[in-house]
Every structure is written in structure tokens, then in C-alpha cells.
Amino acid sequence: MTEHFTGSLMYGDEYGEDVGQEVLFELELERSNSEFSGVSRDISGFGVNESPALVKGSLVNDRISFIKQYQSFHYAEKQTSSNRFLKGPKILYNGTLDQNTGEFYGTWKMPAKTLFFGLIKLTYPSSGSWRMKKTED
């Protein structure tokens, strides 16, 4: 069964002056029991990635978790840049379904890697919050 969602993600404290900036997205999922997979597309906001992201996860009771990976590496600061030859990092989403509103909400995190003087590889996390709601087909 295909389900459609719309939602948003907000950038966390690690983003400095961009904390709280928002990206709106659409998500199309195929569900089989508690497992699901699909495609997410950014539609507007700060740091939109033009390539789609593959999504795979599970929904057990009111708890949802999934991994989202963009099909091109994307970086947004003052300007947005991308490399279509590299996939983006895996972003882990965890959340809860609010039974009263039908809305999912939670947190996301990803490791972001950088090179320091081209020699030492440093890994630092990025995180934020997200929410989404099923749309009527």
C-alpha cells in the first residue's frame, strides 16, 4: 500500500546562525506490515537537495524509525552545493506518532565528515527535529 506524507525538518544547534531553519518535504512510502520503504523529495526551504532520497524503516506501535539517504552529496551553508557522483550520508530519524493529531514528530541525526588540512578525518554529528503527517490521496 502506498502512503503519502508531507513534513518538515528543522536544523539543530550545530548549525549556528542557521539553527531553526526549515526544509519542507514530501514522502511516498510503500508499507508491508511494520516495514516501509520509499522516496523523499525536498520541496522548499533552507538547503533544499534537488536529488531524491531513499527511505527505509519501520513503524512499531507508535514508534517510527527510518534511514534517509540522498542520492547525491549535498552541502548547504551560505550557498548550496552538491556532488551527484557521491551519495549523501545516512540520516537516522526516530520519532513517535501522536494519536490525537495523526502527526509523527521526533529527532534526526547524521554523522558529517570533514577533512582537517587534508590529513585527519574528523567526524562530528549534525541533528535537529522533524515532523510529518499523512496526506489524503
Beta bridge partners of 92: 67, 109
Domains, the chain, with CATH or none = 2-134 (2.40.128.120)
Report the pLDDT value the prediction gives residue 9, as an integer from 0 to 100: 95
**Percent of the chain, pLDDT > 70?**
81
- 4 vs 1 pLDDT, higher one: 4
Q: Is the pLDDT of residue 78 over 80?
A: no
Question: Other C-beta atoms within 10 Å of 130: how many?
Answer: 21
- Banded pLDDT at 75 (limits 50, 70, 90): low
Report the pLDDT value the prediction gives residue 87, as an integer from 0 to 100: 83
- Banded pLDDT at 136 (limits 50, 70, 90): confident
Digit-coded pLDDT (tens) for 94-131: 999 999 999 999 999 988 766 555 566 666 678 999 99
Nearest alpha-carbon partner for 8 in 29, 21, 18, 23: 23
- Banded pLDDT at 17 (limits 50, 70, 90): confident
Digit-coded pLDDT (tens) for 21-69: 999 999 999 999 999 999 999 999 988 888 999 999 999 999 999 999 9
- Banded pLDDT at 82 (limits 50, 70, 90): low
Give the C-alpha separation, 30 to 36, whole Å: 5
For the chain, give the mean pLDDT.
87
- 100 vs 84 pLDDT, higher one: 100
